[in-house]
Amino acid sequence: MKKTIIGSVFMLSGVIITISIIIAGASYASSITSWSGSKLWYIIFGAQRYGNEAVQSLYLGVPFIIGIILSIIGLVILYKEYYNKED
């Protein structure tokens, strides 16, 4: 039971982090004027600056990746807990 709660907390916290970053990027997307590649991924991860170009990225790539990793760890814990036949 403990592992189920721990896995659920990891997965839920990772999903909340990831979805909140995507929502923040989507709401900020309408205010940027220049980007390279996909607009949403440019806002989240950023890109190189060229000359005096204004920085219009949120640079939230590291927390986004941490949220995805937490979600995957939570799913692995839940998978192992539910499909463990030793009990």
Percentage of the residues of the chain whose pLDDT score is greater than 90: 59
The helix-helix angle for 2-28 and 61-82 (nearest 10°) equals: 150
Q: pTM for this structure?
A: 0.85
Is pLDDT of 54 > 80? no
Q: Which residue has the higher pLDDT, 59 or 64?
A: 64
Q: What is the dihedral of CA 57, 63, 66, 68, to 10 degrees?
A: -60
Is pLDDT of 33 > 70? yes
Is pLDDT of 68 > 80? yes
Q: Please report which helix (H) or strand (E) contains residue 87, including its range.
A: none
Helix, strand, coil % over all residues of the chain, rounded to 5? 70, 0, 30
Structure tokens at 48: 């190189």
Structure tokens at 45: 């991860």
Is pLDDT of 25 > 90? yes
